[in-house]
Chain A
């Protein structure tokens, strides 16, 4: 009896509009681990999360922007669904994404993005952040007052240790002590470190060749070569989301919202525009945006003000 009344649904082809630069090199199996209304995360066997996103503003270099996936209420993936990565193809049981010839999204900061950035903007940024930043993460690090947030206290401890330790002993009390620290599915510490790395990259792009040479002779607030090694090791001690963020940041790749924030602040002609940029950034996640900007300010204050 059934044939005539059975529904015939046509399968929609899913076309990625943007492909993160880190995606086409992935091969192997993955599994969907979390699903949200505008993003789906699949965990690759390396422990990195590849996200399918609806909004290009949510891009990272491990994301694929596929608006079609979110169009129909019923075309949803669910945790447990298997995903196959084959460099230029991503396949699930229900769709295949062809990445070949699709626009690549680099996720790197460019010299244009930092044109106009300067010390005065950093203080405006910090002010806006203190005002609009979300509590619960590492915002307390920018304040002098004591907070009742155990994570902030711990983070202070770590950072004090970093500043005091001589270069050779940067192991124990290194920034890596912040990896995995804090609330959130991406722990605050990971966002903070990403912000610090973003600040470092911003400075790198800003400094002219000669100025760079001078800067290199100065003692960095945070000793870098030793840090990076520890950070890489520490990556495995945090959540998948944190690891994914750090993996990209250590290669100088940042989520779109952070790049956009730097660009907006650089181009800002006054306080209002900086306020807006900060407000947009801190609306990210629960405290992700706030924590990243705290790290950003932290590293910029340490370096720029010394110049």
Chain B
């Protein structure tokens, strides 16, 4: 079980990308964590078929 990267994270500053509720990003900023909030929306208008196609592109 290789946990090197996790221990590396423990020794670095957290740099967060937040996807979803923007209050989570706001709270992180209050704690002086560098955070980038995304304007996430359901992909392909929520169309399952398009999502499946996009999945194939991802892999």
Contacts and interface: CB of A to CB of B under 8 A. Distances in A.
A48 B44 CA distance: 25
B39 A76 contact: yes
A6 B43 CA distance: 16
Contact of B21 (A6, A11, A94, A96): A6
B20 A7 contact: yes
A30 B45 CA distance: 20
B54 A11 contact: no
Interface in A82-130: 93-96
B20 A11 contact: no
B20 A94 contact: no
Task: Classify the secondary structure of A's interface with B.
Answer: loop
Contacts of B41: 9, 11, 74-75, 94
Contacts of A94: 41, 43-44
Contacts of A96: 45
A75 B54 contact: no
A5 interface: yes
Nearest to B54: A93
A265 to B, nearest CB: 42
Nearest to A75: B39
* Interface size range on B against A: 10 to 19
Contact of B45 (A6, A7, A11, A73): A11
A6 B42 CA distance: 13
A158 B18 CA distance: 53
Interface in B1-25: 20-21
B21 A7 contact: yes
Interface residues of A, number: 13
Contacts of B54: 93
Contacts of A93: 43-44, 54
A68 B43 CA distance: 17
Contacts of B46: 11
Nearest to B45: A11
Contacts of A76: 39
A76 B32 CA distance: 25
Contacts of B39: 73-76
Contacts of B45: 11, 95-96
Interface string B16-59: 00001100000000000000000101111110000000100000
Interface in A1-32: 5-7, 9, 11
B55 to A, nearest CB: 12
Contacts of A73: 39
B48 to A, nearest CB: 14
A105 B5 CA distance: 54
A9 B54 CA distance: 20
A5 B42 CA distance: 16
Interface of A: 5-7, 9, 11, 73-76, 93-96
Interface of B: 20-21, 39, 41-46, 54
16 contacts: A5-B21, A7-B20, A11-B41, A11-B42, A11-B45, A11-B46, A73-B39, A74-B39, A74-B41, A75-B39, A75-B41, A93-B43, A93-B44, A94-B43, A94-B44, A95-B45
